[in-house]
Amino acid sequence: MKDKKETKKNGVDIAPAKNGGGGFYSDVVKEHFFHPKNFMEDEAGYGADGQGMVGSPACGDVMRVWIKVDPQTERIKDLKWKTFGCASAIAATSMMSVMAVEGKGMTLDEARRLRPQDITERLNGLPLRKVHCSVLGDKALRAAINDYYRKTGQTDKIEIEAGRVIDKVLKITDKDIEEAVLDGADTLEKVQEKTKIGTGDPACIPEVEQLIRFYKEKYFG
């Protein structure tokens, strides 16, 4: 996975976006891409309290997150990650890892409420065509939190992702589609730009298109 990250440094992905929703990468994004924080170097020797993964190697987007938790305070005391992905995905996950452990560390409840918009804001924005790259880290973090609760016998605290899962690989729900439509995504292509839905599980695309039509009619007539 690390090889993928290093190869991307020498490619074009760090260049300014020129097509399909422009905008330059901020200095913060570049810093987290060229010098990613909390990248997992030794998975075998880490001793995680919880770990989570979303995505599929087959579709090219994989996010893995490992956490260590203070059992007394249930604060995240350390977080590591690995990903196959572009500059934006790497930078967004790196920033997420910083946000989770800065100060005394987020409580598990606080970490569960972390959303891509929060990460993007701390990065001083992403090019529009790359905003979707920030959506996997928070899902993998929530999966790691669920794994921690499972391992510690606190199964009553496990939370299933809100909504009905439509893309079973990337764990994208009907709620994610609804929010994308409300945010102006009125075509399959625009919804995919925001969520990546269907890139992990192409078989779900007909249902996605049906949901887009439903939410457009529901909210916009």
> Catalytic residue numbers?
59, 133
What CA–CA distance (Å, rounded) separates 113 from 138? 9
Which token pair is 209? Answer: 């298109």
Axis-axis angle for helices 174-182, 205-220 (nearest 10): 50
**Unique residue bearing structure tokens 């020129």:** 18
Q: What are the angstrom distances between the C-alpha of 177 and each of 36, 160, 195, 196, 198?
A: 30, 17, 8, 10, 11
Q: Please, are residues 93 and 137 in contact by the beta-carbon 8 Å criterion?
A: yes
Local structure of residue 199 (DSSP, 8 states): T
Q: Please, are residues 56 and 132 in contact by the beta-carbon 8 Å criterion?
A: no
What CA–CA distance (Å, rounded) separates 5 from 16? 18
Q: What are the angstrom distances between the C-alpha of 96 and each of 40, 45, 99, 175, 180?
A: 14, 22, 5, 22, 22
